[in-house]
Structure 1
Amino acid sequence: MYQSVGDEASTMWQYRVFILSLVISASCKRVPFYRKDYVYLENFQAFYKLHEIAESWTAAFDVCESEDSHLFYPTDREEATVLQTLVNATAKNVTDVVLGLTDDFHLGEFITVHGKSTPFPLFVTADEPPPAGLESECVFLDFNKNYLRADCNQRLSFICKKVENLPPCPTIDNNYVYQNSTGKCYKVNSHKQTWQEAMSTCYNEGALLVIIDDRVEAEIVGRMLTHDVLYHAGIYRIRKGDDLFTVKGTRLDHNAFQLWYSYDKKDENNCGAVRRISDLAYYYTHGCDERREFVCEMKANC
């Protein structure tokens, strides 16, 4: 059936509105969750729980382990502020907490609950020799971020910490492959679809059609493709002759990096593709209604 230029422009405008709505939806931030009684602190990408009831070091260790977490100790100087943050947030009457540090192995230094040396030098007060007969010493942290030595049997409040152990790709779809050099996960979908159907499929998987941002990414994506096969990619135009846009809403010409299979022919069609040439992914344009395989990309977990 004959389609007028106005009809074509209207269709591509619908594509653009559809795409932008997908990008906005796909960019919604994930809210981390572990347990309702744990607080997530984004600065440290971990969950914390302040236990007000005082326990010995061993008992505190056991409580945290039972919650599938570990007895807190700062991994850097800034993380010592966690006690202040939790006390201020919960209004609990806690002035100091025992840390996941001990000299239980008598190695001449405090060791973390993970069996490693302290992540940074600790300036622990009361540096006099420990009392005679004391089996081991522990460290506690006060509200003003001072580190003090204590008998491990002394009962103190404590904090449990749960590190957010996320898989690189924010999906259970094992067909997505993580690439550390781009911080993205990619999937080649062999089920042939139109460009708009492919975009919708990527979106439903929490992804977008692939965009090549630099030569490293061109190499990574290129190695995933079969030679001389076109795959839908995340570039398009509203109507023939207009500028190309990425599915993230930016003009393609604003991207510093572009590899074109045939630069002279890039204005011939309205939807984008990638093609493997000498192990690099080159851009191409083709008809939006052509049914082809496609590549989805998603940002990896931080």
Structure 2
Amino acid sequence: MLLTTQKLQLSIATLVQNTVEEKHKINKRLGNEVDGQPQIKHFRDDYKYLEGTSSFYKIHTIQKTWEQAKKRCALEGATLFYPEDQNEVDVVLAHLKETQPMYAWIFVGISSKLAKGVFTTVDGVAIRHIYNRWGHGEPNDANGEEDCVILRKEGTYNDEKCSNKFPFICKKTLQSLKWNEECNTPYLDYKYNVDLGRCYKFHLHPLTWREAVEACDAEQAYLAIINSQQEASHLVNITASAPKDKVQGWYLRGAVHLGFNYDTTEEDWRTTTGETLEQAGYAMWGNYQPDGGESERCGSMFYNGHLNDIGCEGHRCFFICEKENELLSLFDDRFGI
């Protein structure tokens, strides 16, 4: 039965690869400049495409500070929205009023954080070159503390404290959208492993464990979970081939964040999906690990593949995100493999 399952998985993986290659051939023959989802105007399920601006938008209802909002949009492969012209104001505010009518204002990607009183967008465009209708008496920089900008539902700007929290919108233009066919995702750095039927991305920007969880989630993935020795070996190979030595600055070398932590309720190490390490299929700890006690409640992997406990907040290091291949998952569910 095991051999039959492995053959079936290989056949499905081959089908996926052949489908991708055939699509590339068709696009090339037709002279298409974009592949896959851009043609059907799809970025992510949680983004809405608006024809009036040829862009995708996501309304974030969990309120954040301006910097947090900017970071979240960047993690999703988008930018913190700001209106380029009157048309975009009209289109986006109409969408906001239709879907979230209770919100009277949102943060936008405009601030004077670089130079007091000089308002520019998150991508460096001076406000005079875009939509710039201020409310009466604004900006007034109350108490010298208002360097970020909100857009009111009537279409006017007001300057606000960057540390205040507001809803916000992330934006992705159709023109900027590229597609990773093998992993069925807009994030191009994910690489498909045919044997495991999953996609992986090694992140070279060191973060804390909790920040890494957020970064993977923003890409509609999850912090990698090892389910077998084969998968552990693959993560070791990914780690070895990544250009880690080029990364400067302070971070914890020798370890990579993974998706498990210590569950104080269960008093056991569990994956972020709730399984014990043994249930998940891999529990090979490094020598004398875990050894950190209450100060190291989150999980990582040494570069050799052995597990290690690590601080959830204090240790910045590389990490690996994992994403299911949706076509393979469909077959897995159907055939019970």
Shorter-chain TM-score category? 0.3 to 0.5
TM-score by length of 2: 0.39
User: Looking at CA atoms only, which structure, 1 or 2, has the larger radius of gyration?
Assistant: 1
